[in-house]
Structure 1
Amino acid sequence: MNAAQGAPEGAALDPDPELSLKILVAGGFGAGKTTLVGSVSEIRPLRTEERLSEAGQSVDDTGGVDSKTSTTVAMDFGRITIRDGLALYLFGTPGQDRFWFLWDDLSEGALGAVVLADTRRLQDCFPAVDYFERRAIPFLVAVNCFAEARSYGADEVSHALDLDRGIPVVLCDARDRDSGKEVLVRLVEHAGRLRSARQLDSVG
């Protein structure tokens, strides 16, 4: 694949590298998806954020993220070069269930997904975990370590989410570029291992 599917028309991108991969960034409302895409992107990220309105308060649960003033209504888009010849195109999904109808289009052609988890609202990432499990899309869970949230270990989060054995859980700071890049590298490695295993199974 020479270009990521679904790149926004008119996005200011450099010439395509030898290989580009599509990655989804999913998770609950306020988990830090827009922040992660923005912190790692080497281009100016495309955002589709709108201010939270009084009308939206009746359908969007802001408990635990009361300071949040805006929300993604379509997607976030960014790009990061992992190494020479390999770039990742990042598509951040909207977190509220009223926008989940967009997920099928966004997930088309994706190598894998990062599910961002906020331990203050851990239950909010269950729908994303279920979505990627049902569609056999490789994913990992990245726990965004908010300063005001109680700290949990990766094993504790994995148990709480009832994840299948082998699904990575990593701790991160979505605001930090190096931390976010490490999450993406771990996802690419995980997806690569799964793809190799599936190929071996098909040959066997």
Structure 2
Amino acid sequence: MDSAISDATAERRDAALSATADNGLKIVVVGGFGVGKTTLVRSVSEIRPLNTEETMTQAGRGIDETGGLDGLRAKTSTTVAFDFGRITLDAHNVLYLFGAPGQERFWFLWDRLFSGTLGAVVLVDPRRIEDSWYAIDRLEHHGTPFIVARNDFGGSAHTAAQLREALDLDPGVPLVDCDARSRESSKNVLIALVEHLKTLYAAQETAK
């Protein structure tokens, strides 16, 4: 059964890269709680994004922790299902963006959200690196190609090399910097992912 699913996923990905057909390309943005996933989807989507944000209440105290960090202490809402945005790439290709919820209690949604995904962006708050470990683990488990984007929260004590080591990233996985609030910066993250996917599929074709 796993083989059949893998073959079907590969066929969808091959079709998604075809230049001769109209394609809906699915990309997922994952990461820990409060790393900027909703912000990234909002900043880059050409439509008003669909989101499932709800107001944070006392019921979430001790569960949806903000850690007291600058920018998180003022967080008053959180995604409880997923964010959805769209970008028209050209006459043949439309990109659909799904932002996954970051809280551990919603992780059960991730495996379904990864189904049919062309690739993923792991958004990282460099002050809370450990919050990204699960996202990377699940993507590797599914065999989903991904890049890592280090979101700008006002400076980081970690170098790119240190961040790679802390996340145990494969040398072939791109690591880019971004500001999720900036449309241009978020677009560059998606471009980096597409370029990474092209490189992977070109390598696969060469190996055949």
TM-score normalised per structure 1: 0.86
CA distance in 1, matches of 2:89, 2:185: 13
1:171 partner amino acid: D
Q: Equivalent of 1:78, from 74, 79, 85?
A: 85
| Match 1:183 to one of 179, 189, 207 | 189
Of all paired residues, the percent bearing the same amino acid is 55
2:169 pairs with one of 163, 170, 187: 163
> Equivalent residue for 1:111?
118
1:160 CA drift (Å): 1.7
Gaps of 5+ in 2: 1-11, 13-20
Q: Which residue, out of 20, 39, 43, partners 1:39?
A: 43
- For 1:170 and 1:109, how far apart are their aligned partners in 2? 24
RMSD (Å), alpha carbons: 1.6
Q: Distance in 1 between matches of 2:114 and 2:133?
A: 17
Bigger share in helix: 2
Given the alignment, which residue of 62, 65, 70 partners 2:66?
A: 62
Separation of aligned partners in 1, 2:62 and 2:97: 30
CA–CA separation in structure 1 for the residues paired with 2:161 and 2:197: 20
2:124 counterpart of 1:137: no
TM-score (norm 2): 0.84
Distance apart, 1:118 and its partner CA: 0.2
Show the counterpart of 1:196: 202
Identify the residue that residue 14 of structure 1 maps to in structure 2: none
Query: Do the aligned partners of residues 153 and 88 (structure 1) sit closer, same or farther apart at CA in structure 2, a change above 3 Å counting?
Result: farther
The answer to whether 1:102 aligns with 2:109 is yes
